[in-house]
Structure 1
């Protein structure tokens, strides 16, 4: 399949894709055959080998955060091979093994092929398999954006709440590598794993609904992966001039009086870069992501364990993720 300004080819004019038809339920997705998309200027076509599933993939199905039309292909994370190029993309891209995070506002990764902006591609180390690579972009890049908000002060105490999930897996390691004394807040079943990743201490959590933090103002920074409400309550754990980083949702109101504790507030949203990020911001993120992928490939950074299913089982696995009926990172093997 070729077109104006397009180089390379796919072997078929149609492909399989999971499509959305206004249902908020993952099981409402339908597997269909649709035309293989053609890359525009600055884009590439990736033939997916694996697809990473994330909580955002089921959260957006209700339509509140997006303006989709029936037939839209959801999904943000994938990995595979570049098989076609749009105008202005270097010919060196053709055939590259890549991972990517793509925008919620156009067709995504739940298909055999996906259009991706060339500036968002993460080149893979030769030794890294596609399933591990597909599990990486959303949680790992979000974790990097979160830790990058906090000034590096080795030895300072830092707490990660909701540390047992995929984002926490990377935040713990990135914070420990920067020299922070990391405390992980998570269910006790994650304790041994989080200590092995670099946490110095673990506390039970997250906080029950409506319950306040009672452990005193102990931390230079709190990185919260739970919710805006939970982050608000965790602000009580911060010292003066501390940093509160909200990874899931945002804090609706400043949690302290003006000119008192003088806390710094931060929000994190990887998807915002697709709308507002310039080439410089993407270059910085891409370089960080490729460094982390190299560390994963070399065993110096540990990804979350993967739960791998077939392409035909994508909707069922996404529904299982929504109901949190397993531990690990869900990945779909496309071929």
Structure 2
């Protein structure tokens, strides 16, 4: 590997998306437990523009944002048992240099080998939404033949979560824009309700009949999730994928629901070896499911790396559909 520097989009405190600069940075050398990856596909996620707008206490001028990418390992640390040239996907910690770059330095335990049958762009579309969906569903005790609701199934997290819930044997109801209705029904969803219909929750109650929901997976906000808590039955589960419940949404000793928060980034600071083993198994299952046709990945919309800030603006404003992906040239690797 002859490169000594690489291009990366860097962050300016307080400047939001307008403060992103395309900069040349010196190429790092992996520490003992790290790998250096040459990115070949980079995916955008809502958390990216949120962190760029909001900032973080541990971010400084020149921080490289971005959590999801796919690439090839070009250098490994002395304690890493991974072959140079391995194609991997990853979800990077928000506190570290991110994926909006030609190269990313990663902890070796946080990389996931990509199946040969899966192309780089599709693999890049999966880590953040797919692992978030897996974590959300994993909050539920093992069960089947129960009714659950997934809000925002037109988005990547809700889309993958709804499919995973169907595969678990749950009866899945979703909210989504009307344009997604027929496709979602073809995936085994029991019913699709247009979230713009002010009566959608009443229509869901009617469809459920005497049953109540066993779980609500909400991708909108904490307040939105709280408004759905009355739909839950005894010992139900309210799973917040955006925000969390700071106060109980229902009176004590009523339906006795459980409250759950989902925070994929937390594993980087608080996960132990077993947690990472389970996450890697989940990533392998997700990518394998897509590669083998058992799981459908979100639709992809491509953009040029040089236009990354504009693509983030469009994602933030809700324009376009599917996952925003940029592709980079694969490097020449001498394994």
For Structure 1 versus Structure 2, the TM-score category normalised by the shorter chain is over 0.9
Partner-residue secondary structure (3-state), 1:280:
helix
* Residue in structure 1 matched with residue 6 of structure 2 by the alignment: 15
Separation of aligned partners in 2, 1:213 and 1:252: 23
* Residue deviations 1:28-80 (CA, integer Å, cap 9, x gap): 21101111122122110010001010000000113444421111100000001
Instruction: Quickly say closer, same or farther: Cα 1:258–1:65, change in 2 above 3 A.
Output: farther
The Cα shift of 1:295 comes to 1.2
Which whole-Å deviations, capped at 9, do the CAs of 1:245-290 have from their partners, x for residues lacking one?
A: 0011112211111121100111000000001001110110111111
Measure the CA separation in 2 of the matches of 1:136 and 1:327: 15
Q: Deviation at 1:24?
A: 4.4
Partners of 1:100 and 1:120 within 8 A in 2 = yes
Question: Which aligned pairs between 1:141-152 and structure 2 lie closer than 5 A?
Answer: 141-152=131-142
Aligned runs of 1:69-80 on 2, under 5 Å? Answer: 69-80=60-71
Q: Say yes or no: does 1:139 pair with 2:138.
A: no
Instruction: Call closer, same or farther: CA 1:11–1:197 in 2, change over 3 Å.
Output: farther
Match in the other structure for 1:52: 43
- The correspondence of residues 30-109 of structure 1 with structure 2, limited to 5 A, is 30-90=21-81, 92-109=82-99
CA distance in 1, matches of 2:244, 2:15: 23
Query: What does residue 228 of structure 2 align with?
Result: 234
In the aligned structure 2, how far is the partner of 1:298 from the partner of 1:187?
A: 28
Provide the C-alpha distance between the structure 2 equivalents of 1:93 and 1:77, rounded to a whole number of angstroms: 21
Residue 331 (structure 1) aligns with? 325
CA contact (8 A) 2:194 2:200 kept: no
- 2:270 aligns with 276
Q: Distance in 1 between matches of 2:179 and 2:200?
A: 22
Q: Residue 119 of structure 1: CA displacement?
A: 0.8
2:254 aligned partner: 260
Shift of the 32–111 alpha-carbon distance from structure 1 to 2, 3 Å rule, reads same
TM-score by length of 1: 0.92
Q: Which SS does the other structure have where 1:313 is aligned?
A: helix
When residues 207 and 61 of structure 1 are mapped into structure 2, their CA distance, relative to the original with a 3 A threshold, is farther
Whether contact under 8 Å (1:162, 1:206) holds in the other structure is no
Question: Residues 214-245 of structure 1: CA distance to partner in whole angstroms, max 9, x if unpaired?
Answer: 45572011000111110000111101110110
Shift of 1:293: 0.4
Instruction: Quote the residue 1:5 is aligned against.
Output: none
| In 2, Cα distance between equivalents of 1:251 and 1:151 | 20
Distance, in Å, in 2 between the alignment partners of 1:289 and 1:112 is 23
Q: Cα–Cα, structure 1 residues 27 and 332, in superposed 2: closer, same or farther, change >3 Å?
A: farther
TM-score when normalising by structure 2 = 0.92
- Larger CA deviation: 187-196 vs 177-186: 187-196
Give the secondary-structure state (helix, strand or coil) at the position aligned to 2:303.
Answer: strand
Q: Match for residue 155 of structure 1?
A: 145
Report deviation, 1:212.
10
Give 1:300's match in structure 2, choosing from 289, 294, 301. Answer: 294
Q: State the aligned residue count.
A: 323
Cα RMSD, aligned residues only? 1.7
For structure 2, list consecutive stretches of 5 or more residues without a partner in the other structure.
Answer: 206-210, 330-335
Aligned to 1:29: 20
Task: Output the CA distance in 2 between the equivalents of 1:206 and 1:274.
Answer: 36
Partners of 1:185 and 1:206 within 8 A in 2: no
The 8 Å contact of residues 23 and 29 in structure 1, kept in 2 or not, is answered as no
1:207–1:84 distance in 2 versus 1, CA, 3 Å:
farther
